Amino acid sequence: MEQDLSRNNVFLRFFANYAPGRFKYWRENSSLVFKSGLKKVIASLAFLTVGVGLGAVVWIFSIWWLGAVIVALSLMAGIINIISFHSFCYYNAWELGRGNAGVNELEAIARTRFSVLEQTRAAASDRRTERRRRSGRHPNRIRESVLDKALNIANIVILAAGMLLICFPLLNYFSLAFNNGNRNLDVILFPADFSLKPMEYVLVTSGAAEFWRSFGNSVVYTALVTIFQNLFTALAAYPLSKKDFPFRGAVLMFFIFTMLFGAGIMPIYLLVKSLGLLNTLWSIILTGMFNAGNMLYYKTFFEGIPSDVEEAAILDGANDLQLFFYIVVPMSLPIIGTCCFFTLVGCWNGYGGAMIYIDQSEQGKAVSPLAYYIYLMIAQNSQADTITDPWVSANIDNIEAAAMLASIIPILCVYPFVVKYIRGGLQLGSVKG
Amino acid sequence: MKEYLQTGETAAGGASAPSEEARTRKRPEGRSFWRTEMRRVVKHRRLIVFLVPAAFFTILFSYIPMLGIVFAFKETINLNQGDILWNVTHGGWTFNNFLDIFYENEEFFPAVANTLIINVIRLAICFPLSILVAVQLSELKSQNAAKVILIILSIPNFLSWVIVIGIWSGVLHPDYGVLGRFTGFIMGQNQWFKPLVVFLSAWKGAGWGCILYYSAIVAIDKTYYESATLEGANRLQKIWYLTIPSILPTIALTLVLNIAGMMAVGFEQIYTMMKINPGELLLSQQVLDTYIYDVSITHGEDIPFATALGVFNGIIGLTLMLTGNYITSKTLKRGLW
């Protein structure tokens, strides 16, 4: 057990060494063990000092937040280093006390295990040999032609330019959010005059009520649509994935026809109006309850599930509902994850529906989702000079940037958790499509 | 339809091959169609319940509005006088609303022209761009780096249109923008409007669009490349004779989907780009979607005309989709659905 923990988890590796019974050995052997890794402690302290010093210099003389980051990082690295070393010594004292290892061995282990420099050096030399082996000093290897090399370089240059084109506006604009009354020109990549005031304005003080209201609207809208749209869509796709479902072609056509032909926005608008849903959140929630395009993806995926599994479950006495929720859904997580994420991003970022069903009155603003709120904010700011507060009118760009940054954070938080599923789902799409 | 196209770009799926389907769905010999289907109804009676919520919302928000097509044939609809049913049963019928789209209408043809121009340029630039980026990524020596770059390139796709436009109108601001100071690109200018529409589409969508092609390229068997190397093919030859033909079905399917969606330009993007600029609404840059929106929602008095316009647009869309499906099923032996 201890072995497993120490192998897999860094934190447990530290703390598993502090087993209660080992304190006796530590008291006896601490000086001996400690001496074996003294160099390591010194290196660690030196690293800490240099890092903190460098950070402090940067902090005082130029950009304070960069200095703070350097200080924090070096402190963290130094402290983790020392803790890990101490816990290792604690463990070694135990080993030594039981006679399992000699001092020299411990010294060697400590050196290889804890010297960051040596480890990186070893890894680099490994990589070098590997590269040398791969690039082939072999006499029969096929040389890369000059053209290929040039293409390679051009490739890297173009991709780097593309990355720059993506990253530069993002950094430039979002660092506006941490500025005090600066315009875009003053800011190149980092905040010029660092200030949390615009963020505070949007999230805490004057703008907060509207921001969090529309944030809440967006959360409700996105959650309800993502859950129920995918539930209803998958539920509808499941029977249609059965080859012998009655009137399968007709039912399929019934759903697909809605993607091919729509009556335009006027009749739907009038319908929503006569249902009394205009200027409510329900208008955009209910109109998004089903997606025929996603149904096709679900159907294609369900068709690929081997029927043996379902037959086995039926033999075990599962009914259709159990079959769907306990067998089919767990097997279709890639497609469910992909479709849910698409729906989620679409709802969070989309405001086309809101533009149709929700107007710009006070009642409409109370139910507007976040993207629509930002749209209204920007459309109004660019047209009217109705702002009375001088600080707000000086910081209007910064406030807009802060609101935008705050609105994309939830999506960026969800993305890492679903990226695994998406890659699977897309690969699926590419194989099937 | 728009939603379908959006997801269709990213994960182009499709039904399994028709021949296989026909084989498995074949009904037993000597039994009538209705009898077989009724037996199947009895067999799957519980599964039919699964369709109820989807069918309910489809009927409510897709088929009931289709009944609203009759509005397009009314002379007037005045909701102040009575409710919609009253309006449908009273008042005369006419076909003039459809004729009004073409006659005495200065906005319709520019809107169609703008739609087509933007879409053709976009097809010519954004569509090959995704493929190019995907090929470039696959040619990188370190595929881990390629995955990281792919994630970075696809970040803009997760921003909403209003944020993308906000960012770029800030960067391109003629007085304060970092780039706008030096370049002449301003979103509010008529001559830069269409290029910027295409550029922003590329900026937002290229990275995300290339994920599909990239995963198709990664799935190609590596031994082909090794044997091509042994045969003495250089990099360009490998790309041209190996990579591109291997992902050709994916490319063709996406192309047809794009052509089928020719009439939809991305309403949110263009309307926001129009609204966000100080000054006039750039009436000359109106596209079909924004024109319909303006007629239906912003003005909203002329319900019969707005309906007629929507129906007309729907018919064009239907035609394009059916054509696209015909082309794919003929060339790729696989329909769009």
Residue A342 has a pLDDT of: 86
Q: Spell out the residues 6+ positions from residue A245 whose beta carbon is closer than 8 angstroms to its own.
A: A239, A251, B40, B44, B47
| Partners of residue B287 in chain A, C-beta under 8 Å | none
| Partners of residue B175 in chain A, C-beta under 8 Å | 183, 185
CA–CA dist A171, B170 (Å, integer): 12
Contact A266 B307 (CB under 8 A): yes
Residue A4 has a pLDDT of: 47
Residues A241, A323 contacting (CB under 8 angstroms): no
Average pLDDT rounded to a whole number, residues A129-137: 66
Q: Which residue has the tokens 């010999």?
A: B29
Residue A260 has a pLDDT of: 85
Q: Which residue has the higher pLDDT, B63 or B209?
A: B63
Residue B1 has a pLDDT of: 37
CA–CA dist A374, A403 (Å, integer): 7
What is the nearest CA distance from A173 to chain B, expressed in angstroms? 6
Q: Is B166 left (phi over 0), alpha (psi -120 to 50) or beta?
A: alpha
Q: Which residue has the higher pLDDT, A119 or A206?
A: A206
User: Quick one: tokens of B95?
Assistant: 């076909």
Identify which of A152, A232, A375 has the shortest CB distance to residue B272: A375
Q: Spell out the residues 6+ positions from residue B281 whose beta carbon is closer than 8 angstroms to its own.
A: B274, B275
Percentage above 90 pLDDT, chain B = 21
Per-residue pLDDT for A119 more than 60? yes
Test mutation, B34, B45, B47, chain A, max A CBs within 10 A: B47
Q: What is the pLDDT of residues A255-273, one digit of tens each?
A: 989 988 888 889 999 999 9
Q: Which residue has the tokens 């295409």?
A: B198
Per-residue pLDDT for A251 more than 80? yes
Average pLDDT rounded to a whole number, residues A323-352: 89
What is the nearest CA distance from A185 to chain B, expressed in angstroms? 5
Residue B185 has a pLDDT of: 65
Cα A100–Cα A106–Cα A107 angle in degrees, nearest 5: 160
Residue B10 has a pLDDT of: 39
Per-residue pLDDT for B255 more than 90? no
- Stated as kind and residue range, the H or E segment containing A15 is helix A10-16
Q: Which domains does chain B have, with CATH numbers?
A: 33-94 (no CATH), 100-331 (1.10.3720.10)
Average pLDDT rounded to a whole number, residues A250-254: 92
Give the bridge partners for A194, in sequence order.
A179
pLDDT tier, B12 (very low <50, low <70, confident <90, very high otherwise): very low
| Partners of residue B317 in chain A, C-beta under 8 Å | 260-262
Contact B292 A264 (CB under 8 A): yes
Identify which of B170, B268, B313 has the shortest CB distance to residue A264: B313
| Partners of residue B310 in chain A, C-beta under 8 Å | 262-267
Contact A258 B63 (CB under 8 A): yes
Report the sign of the C-alpha dihedral through residues B1, B7, B10, B13, in that order. negative
What is the nearest CA distance from A394 to chain B, expressed in angstroms? 13
CA distance to A178, A412, B69, per residue, from A191 (Å): 6, 21, 55
Residue A250 has a pLDDT of: 92
Task: Using a CB–CB cutoff of 8 Å, tell me whether B135 touches chain A.
Answer: no
Chain length of chain B: 337
Which of B122-136, B187-201, B239-253 is predicted most confidently? B122-136
- Stated as kind and residue range, the H or E segment containing A131 is helix A116-135
Query: Whole-angstrom distance between the N-terminal and C-terminal Cα of chain B?
Result: 12
Identify which of A166, A248, A289 has the shortest CB distance to residue B207: A166
Q: What is the pLDDT of residues A353-411, one digit of tens each?
A: 999 999 888 888 889 999 999 998 887 765 556 666 777 777 788 888 888 999 988 88
Least confident stretch, A89-103, A201-215, A224-238, B237-251: A89-103
Q: What is the pLDDT of residues A197-243, one digit of tens each?
A: 888 888 888 778 889 999 999 999 999 999 999 999 999 999 999 88
The overall average pLDDT reported for chain A is 80
pLDDT tier, A3 (very low <50, low <70, confident <90, very high otherwise): very low
Least confident stretch, A99-113, B55-69, B274-288: A99-113
Per-residue pLDDT for B9 more than 50? no
Q: Which residue has the higher pLDDT, A46 or A214?
A: A214
| Partners of residue B200 in chain A, C-beta under 8 Å | none
B window 103-132, beta carbon within 8 A of A:
none
Contact B7 A294 (CB under 8 A): yes
pLDDT tier, A165 (very low <50, low <70, confident <90, very high otherwise): very high
CA–CA dist B115, A51 (Å, integer): 58
Contact A264 B311 (CB under 8 A): yes
| Partners of residue B12 in chain A, C-beta under 8 Å | 429-430, 433
Residue B336 has a pLDDT of: 64
Average pLDDT rounded to a whole number, residues B154-169: 90
Task: Using a CB–CB cutoff of 8 Å, tell me whether B145 touches chain A.
Answer: no
Test mutation, B58, B272, B320, chain A, max A CBs within 10 A: B58
CA–CA dist A424, A365 (Å, integer): 39
Task: Using a CB–CB cutoff of 8 Å, tell me whether B26 touches chain A.
Answer: no
| Partners of residue B236 in chain A, C-beta under 8 Å | 147, 151
Test mutation, A184, A282, A287, A378, chain B, max B CBs within 10 A: A184
Least confident stretch, A276-280, A343-347, B85-89: B85-89
Write down the H helix ranges in chain B. Answer: 2-10, 18-25, 33-43, 45-50, 52-58, 64-67, 84-89, 96-102, 108-139, 143-153, 161-171, 190-218, 222-231, 235-238, 244-246, 248-260, 267-276, 288-293, 303-331
Residue B18 has a pLDDT of: 47
Residue B14 has a pLDDT of: 42
Backbone φ, ψ for residue B262 (5° rounding) = -60, -30
Residue A423 has a pLDDT of: 63
Q: Which domains does chain A have, with CATH numbers?
A: 2-135 (no CATH), 145-195 (no CATH), 197-428 (1.10.3720.10)
Task: Using a CB–CB cutoff of 8 Å, tell me whether B14 touches chain A.
Answer: yes
DSSP 8-state code for residue B172: T
Task: Using a CB–CB cutoff of 8 Å, tell me whether B58 touches chain A.
Answer: yes
Task: Using a CB–CB cutoff of 8 Å, tell me whether B16 touches chain A.
Answer: yes
Per-residue pLDDT for A428 more than 70? no
Residue B13 has a pLDDT of: 41
Write down the H helix ranges in A358-395. Answer: 362-366, 370-381, 390-394
Contact B276 A356 (CB under 8 A): no
Report the sign of the C-alpha dihedral through residues A8, A9, A10, A12, in that order. negative
Q: What is the pLDDT of residues B99-114, one digit of tens each?
A: 888 887 888 888 989 9
Per-residue pLDDT for B4 more than 60? no
Per-residue pLDDT for B337 more than 70? no
Secondary structure of residue B74 in the 3-state scheme: strand
Identify which of B1, B14, B236 has the shortest CB distance to residue A432: B14
Q: The whole model's pTM is what?
A: 0.74
Cα B233–Cα B234–Cα B238 angle in degrees, nearest 5: 70
CA distance to A129, B47, B255, per residue, from B14 (Å): 47, 23, 15
Identify which of A147, A269, A397 has the shortest CB distance to residue B234: A147
